[in-house]
Structure 1
Amino acid sequence: MQNQSQNPLPSLQPLSILILGGGISGLTTALSLTKFTPPTHPPPSIKIFEIRPFPATIGGAVNLTPNALRLLSYLGALHEIERLGYGAPCEAIEVFDLYTGGKIAESSFKGKEGRGLGDPPFRALRIGRGEALKGVLAAIDKYPNIEIECGKRTVGIVEDGEGVKLTFQDGDTATGDILVGCDGIHSVTRLLHVEPERKGVYSGICNAFGFAPHIGKFQPVHFTTSAMNFSRRGMLLTSFHSPEKDSIYVGGLMEVPEIADRDGWKAAGKDEEKIRAEMLERFGKDAALDLIPQLIHDAKELFLWPVFTLPKSGKWYTSRVILIGDSAHAMPPQGESTGIVFEDGVLFSRCIARWMEKGGEKGGMPVREAFEAYEKLRRGRIDAAFEESQSVVKTVRDAGWLGHIVKMRIVPWYLWWTRAEREGHFVEDVTRKELNY
């Protein structure tokens, strides 16, 4: 943990870190690298390069689980999210059978005493992806050692014994001691340099999402904050995502045939009325909950987002370049994907800090040793999360009536059976995890 009261040794030069990707993964990793710098060292010089004209996150609303909130609090971003008034507190995700309207189970974040999970205790927060990003950006603004440059398309990555050099499409270059790839499923860092043959694979499911206005007492809802509504042909998430509860996020995970190319996916993603018709067919037809078809009719800015994944395992690093988050291990949504990304950045930063404390390259330790330590700490957890995500994919695939009835019997049992393991992840605090390195 960084101690601002101690002055760094004047003879030490700041570590120069390049980060590709200005999304929430890259930004929280930059915060972590700054916060965990040993007090005897100057803060690293961090340059973040984002391909878009400005930092932006495509997507709907995510559930920040207790482990995610704990890390955002440590990094100073949760304070900014709360100050800006973003997100709807979530005590539990409720599960409903769309055809009976009955609640069959819930996944709770309240803990035994009702205060939350972990130490310190947190519940959960449903928040728009863009608002979460704004909160993290507000925290970034407090650190002059972190710079963000947008509109930079990387076309070349070269590393040698001295460092890493990036070349951009506009002819500019950047050099640093290490490069951290936080650039997502279609990572340029991976495809140009770390493991070009490891490409994203379509999972067979898409997320169709939008936001519907909520008119309070004149439009009663069947859930407290967030609901998973299961049909025979997918799962529809309906959730508040702001304190005012004046808008409901509507997101459907469903099986969709693969489209051959990216242009085809883009066209399908922008066809709002076709998306609406598909959602009504899957979730509005025969629904016992009148609210469901109404929300789909009212939803604005509907978008279809194909879920791509990476094959299990794979290469995460070279001598001076490492992949973090989805660029290393993209998987289908499984309830805590965002928290996993935050944990990646924090554990990686702690390994880099330990490497610095041991003298770094001047002490005879190549930075690759920090990369290796991080992978040993992280690989098992990621593999377990990947297997869990496969269960989610199976749950939202198309099924007949008998299959749906069986699924509605299994889901409550599955949530009960996995509760201890799930809560174990929510209470984990990777800022305290023993490094053994």
Structure 2
Amino acid sequence: MKGIEKVIIIGGGPAGVAAALHLQEKNNISCPIYEVRSEPTTLGGAVGIPSNGLRLLQRMGLCDAMMAKGTETSMLRLHSLKGNEMGGIDMVSWSRQQTGFGYLRIRRTDLMDVLSSTASKKCVPIYFSKRLTNIEEKDDKVTVHFSDGTSDTGDFLLGCDGIHSSVRKLYVDPNCTPQYTGISNVFSLLPTSELPPAASSLDALHATLTSDGMFAISPAAHEVVYWFFSREITMPESLDTRDGWEERGKKEVDNLKTIFVNLLGDADSPWVNMLRDVVRKTEVVKFYPIFKIPPGRPWSKGRCLIIGDAAHAMPPHASQGVSMALEDVFLFSSLLTHHSRNLNTPNSRSLESLLQSYESKRKLRTEQMLKTAERNGDIRKKKTSLRLRVNELALSWGLRVYGAVGLDKMGIGQGPLAYDIEDEQF
């Protein structure tokens, strides 16, 4: 029986390009990529990649290029609404010791630049303006059809086309509907040349709690800072489409500066004054409602598998979106290696059986990360002034205890960041 020699990839984002690069390198498989947009996307702000993801980028030979474009921001420092620093924590102190890698924050455009330029050097074809319209399986082959009348046929189909995946909607799980989490982000990227010195010299992720959400600011590249305001927003019943949310986003942007300055109140401290300056100097702001894929849904059908956000999109509050996609890619590569080696041996497992094993392993892991992200998201919900003060005190004391007892040296809360997907076996 012939093995898998060509995998068609739908989606030219981080998951799709990373999959093509890794499968071509490790499995000697042809991987054409089809992207619905007319050119590489410039959407998004900055993403975090902790130890587990950086280790995989290193194995792909991409980590140094990523680190050169981004910045190390493993320290998290919390501030009160009055401007006092409540404490800090190195989010990857233990996992760095276990893996040799820390925490990278990088602009999404820079992330894609590294992936796309590497794909070009490796002669991985990426075709743009390709809107998927139909998927067919026949005789151990998969054929994809596009709105421009073209089609392609391969041995397997990989859906890497994000939370609003056409592969999932058309074929794998048509009844799956992404769920709005109730939290939305407003964010911006600013050159440090336009900001006060205090913002220009940031070397960590700084978070400030308010009664209406959380404001955070961090370096994201050389002479660039990234800030976001993450808050609870009720989804209007009449606005349940992406277009509707874009319109709602414009309204949120129009009101942002007034809302945030009012939340800061009359506090007069260097930190709060710096935050006011940053928001006032911001001219371009983007709105991003956060959706998730409900757990327990199917990820595969026949010779088709969805990975990354298409399968398990989750809130960004655990900084695991890119890392989870990379883990998907590495485990799928192992699946193909196992399938190829055992294809003609007695009692070899079928491709369907291997995909079921893949789903079982990955769902256990991604659902764990989803729970972590949702717990982290609770602090972004609306609260009274009294509740805010209680939260500030609890976090302040919690950080003191964490450092005094040395919980960071025990790896408390960092175990998932030292996980190695290549330890998994089929």
> Does the alignment pair 1:255 with 2:238?
no
Per the alignment, residue 369 of structure 1 pairs with 353
Deviation at 1:74, TM superposition (A): 0.9
Deviation at 1:412, TM superposition (A): 5.4
Per the alignment, residue 5 of structure 1 pairs with none
Per the alignment, residue 60 of structure 1 pairs with 45
Taking structure 1 as reference, are residues 277 and 46 closer, same or farther at Cα in structure 2, changes over 3 Å only?
same
Of 359-368 and 171-180, more deviation after overlay is shown by 359-368
| Cα distance in 1 between the residues matched to 2:5 and 2:85 | 56
Pick aligned residue for 2:10 from 20, 25, 29:
20
Deviation at 1:292, TM superposition (A): 0.9
TM-score (norm 2): 0.88
Q: Is the 8 A contact 2:4 2:336 kept in 1?
A: no
Q: Could you list the runs of 5+ residues in structure 1 that have no partner in the other structure? A: 1-10, 38-42
Q: Secondary structure at the match of 2:421?
A: coil
Paired amino acid for 2:142: V
Per the alignment, residue 310 of structure 2 pairs with 327
| Cα distance in 2 between the residues matched to 1:326 and 1:217 | 34
Of 308-317 and 160-169, more deviation after overlay is shown by 160-169
| Cα distance in 2 between the residues matched to 1:279 and 1:412 | 23
Per the alignment, residue 378 of structure 2 pairs with 394
Pick aligned residue for 1:313 from 284, 287, 296:
296
Q: Secondary structure at the match of 1:45?
A: coil
Show CA shifts across 1:32-67 (max 9, x none): 222332xxxxx1110111111112252111121111
Per the alignment, residue 7 of structure 1 pairs with none
Q: Secondary structure at the match of 1:300?
A: coil
Per the alignment, residue 197 of structure 2 pairs with 219
Taking structure 1 as reference, are residues 159 and 399 closer, same or farther at Cα in structure 2, changes over 3 Å only?
same
| Cα distance in 1 between the residues matched to 2:310 and 2:363 | 14
Q: Secondary structure at the match of 1:117?
A: helix
Deviation at 1:421, TM superposition (A): 4.8
| Cα distance in 2 between the residues matched to 1:349 and 1:33 | 6
Q: Is the 8 A contact 2:136 2:143 kept in 1?
A: yes
Within-5 A mapping of 1:1-400? 15-37=5-27, 43-82=28-67, 85-111=68-94, 116-119=96-99, 121-144=100-123, 146-215=124-193, 219-221=197-199, 223-243=202-222, 246-259=223-236, 260=239, 261-270=241-250, 272-282=253-263, 286=267, 288=269, 289-337=272-320, 338-359=322-343, 365-400=349-384
| Cα distance in 1 between the residues matched to 2:108 and 2:268 | 28
Q: Secondary structure at the match of 1:377?
A: helix
| Cα distance in 2 between the residues matched to 1:306 and 1:169 | 28
Taking structure 1 as reference, are residues 283 and 214 closer, same or farther at Cα in structure 2, changes over 3 Å only?
farther
Q: Could you list the runs of 5+ residues in structure 2 that have no partner in the other structure? A: none
Show CA shifts across 1:155-207 (max 9, x none): 11122342211111111111111111111111111111111111111111111
Deviation at 1:362, TM superposition (A): 11
Specify which structure has the bigger relative contact order, considering alpha-carbon pairs within 8 angstroms and separated by 6 or more residues.
2
Taking structure 1 as reference, are residues 34 and 405 closer, same or farther at Cα in structure 2, changes over 3 Å only?
same
Taking structure 1 as reference, are residues 283 and 305 closer, same or farther at Cα in structure 2, changes over 3 Å only?
farther
Q: Is the 8 A contact 1:181 1:189 kept in 2?
A: yes
Q: Is the 8 A contact 1:343 1:430 kept in 2?
A: yes
Deviation at 1:287, TM superposition (A): 7.2
Taking structure 1 as reference, are residues 111 and 384 closer, same or farther at Cα in structure 2, changes over 3 Å only?
closer
Deviation at 1:281, TM superposition (A): 3.7
Q: Is the 8 A contact 1:212 1:296 kept in 2?
A: no
Taking structure 1 as reference, are residues 196 and 170 closer, same or farther at Cα in structure 2, changes over 3 Å only?
same
Q: Is the 8 A contact 2:183 2:290 kept in 1?
A: yes
| Cα distance in 1 between the residues matched to 2:77 and 2:204 | 8
| Cα distance in 2 between the residues matched to 1:286 and 1:400 | 17
Q: Is the 8 A contact 1:78 1:135 kept in 2?
A: no
Show CA shifts across 1:215-252 (max 9, x none): 49952248522212221111112011113xx2221111
Q: Secondary structure at the match of 2:249?
A: helix
Q: Secondary structure at the match of 1:193?
A: helix
> Does the alignment pair 1:430 with 2:410?
no
The aligned length equals: 411
Show CA shifts across 1:302-357 (max 9, x none): 01111111112111111111110111111111323221221111112111211111
Q: Is the 8 A contact 2:73 2:218 kept in 1?
A: no
RMSD over aligned Cα, in angstroms? 2.7
Taking structure 1 as reference, are residues 340 and 397 closer, same or farther at Cα in structure 2, changes over 3 Å only?
same
Q: Percent identity?
A: 25
Q: Is the 8 A contact 1:191 1:197 kept in 2?
A: yes
| Cα distance in 2 between the residues matched to 1:287 and 1:168 | 58
Taking structure 1 as reference, are residues 297 and 310 closer, same or farther at Cα in structure 2, changes over 3 Å only?
same
